[in-house]
Amino acid sequence: MSKNLIKKYNVPGPRYTSYPTVPFWDHNSFSLKLWKQSLQQSFKESNTSEGVSLYIHLPFCESLCTFCGCNKRITKRHEVESPYITAVLKEWDLYCELFDAKPIIKELHLGGGTPTFFAPINLKRLINGITRKAILAKNYEFSFEGHPNNTTKAHLLALYNLGFRRVSFGVQDYNETVQKAIHRIQPFENVKNVTEMAREIGFTSIGHDIIFGLPFQTADHIRETIAKTRQLKPDRIAFYSYAHTPWIKGNGQRGFSKVNLPKAEEKRLQYEIGKALLADAGYSEIGMDHFALPTDTLYAAMANQELHRNFMGYTASKTQMMIGLGVSAISDSWYGFSQNVKGIEEYYHLIEHNIIPVFRGHILNKEDLVIRQHILNLMCHYKTSWSNSYLNFKSLDDALNKLSEMLKDELVVIENNTLKITKKGKPFVRNVCMAFDVLLQQKQPQKQLFSMTI
């Protein structure tokens, strides 16, 4: 990739797991009443045809990883598990009371934090409590994030018996210097053991998460990490950019200096090297930052133009509604977003008083819905069209004008009311989406809200 292009387009920008993005939600027009109404509307429209997705946030970790931007609570006290599960199940009850039928669960994901902080018996209690109030879709998918250092055979067996078939393990990087900097020490043998154990038990989709742009990381470290990853041949790989946002994430990302991070050109080189090595190993690039073998469901979703993106990232299971349970979890009714309170004590207090524990959100207007669809099309399929009148919007001409430089640089092509991102332009998909982002253009934030796009 040209250094001039990196310099030109490496700007702060959203990762577009939603539109509008969280910093531009209109909290003043949001209310719990409107949020419930949007859920009920979406449920009636989509439950029987698509089902619903569930994201459950399990925030506890025994130690702090300094690269992590997730909402977490560091503790070694495992007595916190039971009351938290009690609260999550009660929150699920509050949502189920809104609906006139049992939710049909298409997809369920346990994220964190560290889901495998929880004992297998408590995870069993959680999942059984969720499914007791629901119906499982014919081709449902349960997945979880596992820490290679503490995911045991008992965890894997318990979750497999509950219907889980997909697991992702956080690898990040195998170099010891990098691991020390991010406070995530895990030898290759730990990852190897847990990957092989999951495969032997019967998990059909095993993922590894790898990060580039970490402190002290070099191109040679990427080569080493990919080489070891090839030995284990996970079904899918998330190979994504470290987002250095200490002004948002607080002290967790202040364990090293910005000068320890690779420069933009070096960071992009790391990605290009990793991408080439993964392609050589038989992986196909899926959307942004994801790779999968042809046998994985994510690859099939891309091939069939069914790839979807939401707050859980890329998914092969498209549902209109996604309910987030637990502290800081984000929900999506398609017509609106909401986020739960971030403090565990406040979360418990609201749940005790039978209040769905959201603290902010956004109800989408007609223009939001149209722009959302364009950005979703670009992020999943690298193209979008406004041939149908309902996908036109007031600021479309302005958005296309903002793409003039990208047209000159051959990053996009526009013809017959259709925009396509070229092969050369794929690394800049976030920049293309930014041209459609009316709220980003209107607000022009004075302080940096997002990580760099390259």
Question: Tell me, what's the pLDDT at 288?
Answer: 86
Contact (Cβ atoms closer than 8 angstroms) between residue 261 and residue 452: no
The verdict on residue 131 lying in a domain is yes
> How many domains does one find in the chain?
2
Does the annotation flag 243 for ligand binding?
Answer: yes
Nearest to 434 by CA among 26, 3, 21: 21
Is the per-residue pLDDT at 252 higher than 70?
no
pLDDT > 70 fraction of the chain, expressed in percent and rounded: 95
Does the annotation flag 114 for ligand binding?
Answer: yes
Mean pLDDT of the 208-215 span: 95
**pLDDT range class, residue 246, cuts 50, 70, 90:** low
Instruction: For residue 175, give Cα distances in angstroms to 212, 226, 329.
Output: 12, 11, 32
The C-alpha atoms of residue 167 and residue 208 are separated, in whole angstroms, by 9
Within 10 A of 196 (CB to CB), how many other CB atoms are there?
A: 12
Contact (Cβ atoms closer than 8 angstroms) between residue 363 and residue 35: yes
Within 10 A of 13 (CB to CB), how many other CB atoms are there?
A: 21
443 vs 363, residue with greater confidence: 363
Question: Tell me, what's the pLDDT at 447?
Answer: 63
Does the annotation flag 61 for ligand binding?
Answer: yes
146 and 280, same domain (yes or no): yes
Does the annotation flag 70 for ligand binding?
Answer: no
CATH code for position 184: 3.80.30.20
Nearest to 385 by CA among 421, 433, 419: 419
Does the annotation flag 134 for ligand binding?
Answer: no
Query: What is the CA 393 to chain-centroid distance, rounded?
Result: 27
Does the annotation flag 21 for ligand binding?
Answer: no
254 and 150, same domain (yes or no): yes
296 and 412, same domain (yes or no): no
125 and 3, same domain (yes or no): no
Segment 115-129, tens digit of pLDDT: 999 999 999 999 999
Q: Which residues pair with 420 in a beta bridge?
A: 383, 413
84 and 8, same domain (yes or no): no
Does the annotation flag 314 for ligand binding?
Answer: no
Does the annotation flag 236 for ligand binding?
Answer: no
Q: Coil, strand, or helix at residue 9?
A: helix
95 vs 449, residue with greater confidence: 95
CATH code for position 421: 1.10.10.920
133 and 186, same domain (yes or no): yes
Nearest to 111 by CA among 63, 61, 153: 61
134 and 147, same domain (yes or no): yes
Mean pLDDT of the 220-237 span: 97
417 and 288, same domain (yes or no): no
Residue that terminates a domain, selected from 325, 352, 383: 325
The C-alpha atoms of residue 102 and residue 107 are separated, in whole angstroms, by 15
14 and 62, same domain (yes or no): no
**pLDDT range class, residue 13, cuts 50, 70, 90:** confident
Does the annotation flag 330 for ligand binding?
Answer: yes
The verdict on residue 342 lying in a domain is no
308 and 235, same domain (yes or no): yes
Does the annotation flag 433 for ligand binding?
Answer: no
Is the per-residue pLDDT at 443 higher than 80?
no
Does the annotation flag 273 for ligand binding?
Answer: no
Provide the terminal-to-terminal Cα distance of the chain, rounded to the nearest Å.
11
DSSP string, 96-114: HTT-SS--EEEEEEEEES-
CA angle at residue 149 from 148 to 153, to 5 degrees? 75
Mean pLDDT of the 349-359 span: 98
Mean pLDDT of the 83-108 span: 98
416 and 397, same domain (yes or no): yes
To 10 degrees, what angle do helices 219-232 and 264-280 make? 20
Q: For residue 416, with 0-12 CB atoms within 10 Å meaning exposed, 13-18 middle and 19 or more buried, which class applies?
A: exposed
Q: Which residues pair with 104 in a beta bridge?
A: 135
Is the per-residue pLDDT at 263 higher than 70?
yes
Domain hosting 78: range is 23-325
Segment 366-412, tens digit of pLDDT: 999 999 999 999 999 999 999 988 899 999 999 999 999 999 999 99
Is the per-residue pLDDT at 448 higher than 70?
no
Residue that terminates a domain, selected from 273, 299, 325: 325
Is the per-residue pLDDT at 67 higher than 80?
no
Count Cα atoms within 13 angstroms, Cβ side, for 22.
18
Mean pLDDT of the 170-183 span: 94
Instruction: For residue 367, give Cα distances in angstroms to 6, 14, 215, 452.
Output: 31, 19, 40, 26
The verdict on residue 338 lying in a domain is no
Give the tokens for residue 7: 């310099």
Does the annotation flag 85 for ligand binding?
Answer: no
98 and 245, same domain (yes or no): yes
Largest CA distance in the chain: 61
452 vs 403, residue with greater confidence: 403
Three-state SS for 282-299 is CCEEECCCEEECCCCHHH
Is the per-residue pLDDT at 247 higher than 50?
no
The verdict on residue 334 lying in a domain is no
Give the tokens for residue 103: 């939710």
Does the annotation flag 113 for ligand binding?
Answer: yes
